Homo-oligomer: A and B are copies of this chain.
Amino acid sequence: MKRDSRLSSVLHALLHLAEHQAPMTSEALAKCMATHPVVVRRTMGMLRAAGLVASARGHAGGWRITADLAAVTLRELHDVLGEPAVFAIGNRNETPGCLVEEAVNAALDDAFAQAEALLLERFARITLADLAADFARRHAERRAQDHERGDRDAL
């Protein structure tokens, strides 16, 4: 099964937009995400419909964030993307033809529902601001490492 990576994509895009204050074109976003500009427009279009980003055409156009980073959770983005199916595993028939299948479906559905609830609850606790902060931390760490390496090389 091919995994839906749109949530990952939009997070990547939104954080890049948060770094830039100028709008970024679909082409620029596509390049840094190794995908196609049309895919970017298609996916970002859903965020625009939800009022999280804005786009402008023509020269100096592109995408920019309009939402508050601290107010947007992964859960909201998941919803904005249409709440795609979370699991790659599922029941053979959703409408059971026999009682055996009914019992099997009930057990699996229950377990999946619990796992999905946990996942969405975790998503609801993570904001774009959290990710941006984590990025900043990694960035500082990387710079510190580079610096250390530079010192060592300079000996």
Contact = CB atoms under 8 A, between A and B. Distances in A.
Interface stretch (A52-60, A62-70, A104-112, A147-155): A104-112
A98 interface: yes
B3 A34 contact: no
Report how many copies the assembly holds.
2
B34 A90 contact: no
A89 to B, nearest CB: 5
Contacts of A119: 111-112, 114-115
Interface of A: 1-5, 7-9, 11-12, 15-16, 19, 32-35, 74, 84-93, 97-108, 110-112, 114-116, 118-119, 122-123, 126, 130-131, 134-135, 138-139, 142
